């Protein structure tokens, strides 16, 4: 039930989010979602060299968005309705941040997913987010 694979998602990102400009990269699809990489550069950093909260929020948000698209295709104008995020540790300096998005529910009207953020090469969870997306009626006529 994969509607878009890694290559299709990369093409979609470039076309629809030109301003993201290479900062996000889908590492791979998983059984339950995907892993998205934030290619960290100076625009994501706070003084002291840590990745900023908004950059981590954006990573979690895009990871879940793409995970949903990978299942239902690019027509869906899914919109974030809620995000709850816990910041637990400072990301490692100079490392990309990875978000593992996992879809918990893909309903007719709502999708719910988790995203766990880690620094590349490290196991500790840096931040944990849960997100809800609203899916427009036209996007999934036959589902649920």
142 secondary structure, DSSP code = T
Q: Give CA 6 to chain center in angstroms.
A: 13
- Contact between 16 and its own copies per CB under 8 A: yes
- Contact between 132 and its own copies per CB under 8 A: yes
DSSP string, 75-107: T---EEEEEEEEE-SPPPTT--EEEEEEEEEE-
- Contact between 79 and its own copies per CB under 8 A: yes
- The rounded distance, in Å, linking the Cα atoms of 132 and 19 is 24
**Interacting span for its own copies (CB under 8 A) from 13-21, 22-30, 33-41, 93-101:** 13-21
Residue whose CB is less far from its own copies, 61 or 100: 61
- Contact between 22 and its own copies per CB under 8 A: no
- Contact between 138 and its own copies per CB under 8 A: no
- Contact between 25 and its own copies per CB under 8 A: no
Per CB under 8 A, the list member of 30, 87, 120, 122 interacting with its own copies is 87
Q: How many of the chain's residues bind its own copies (CB under 8 A)?
A: 35
- Contact between 30 and its own copies per CB under 8 A: no
């Amino acid at each position: 039930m994969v509607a878009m694979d890694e290559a299709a998602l990369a093409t979609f990102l470039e076309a629809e989010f030109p301003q993201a400009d290479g900062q996000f990269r889908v590492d791979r699809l998983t059984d339950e979602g995907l892993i998205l990489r934030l290619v960290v550069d100076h625009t994501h950093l706070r003084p002291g060299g840590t990745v900023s909260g908004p950059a981590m929020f954006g990573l979690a948000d895009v990871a879940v968005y793409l995970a949903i698209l990978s299942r239902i295709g690019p027509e869906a104008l899914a919109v974030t309705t809620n995000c709850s995020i816990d910041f637990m540790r400072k990301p490692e300096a100079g490392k990309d941040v990875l978000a593992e998005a996992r879809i918990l529910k893909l309903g007719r009207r709502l999708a719910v997913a988790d995203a766990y953020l880690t620094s590349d090469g490290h196991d500790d969870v840096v931040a944990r987010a849960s997100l809800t997306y609203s899916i427009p009626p036209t996007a999934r006529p036959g589902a649920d």
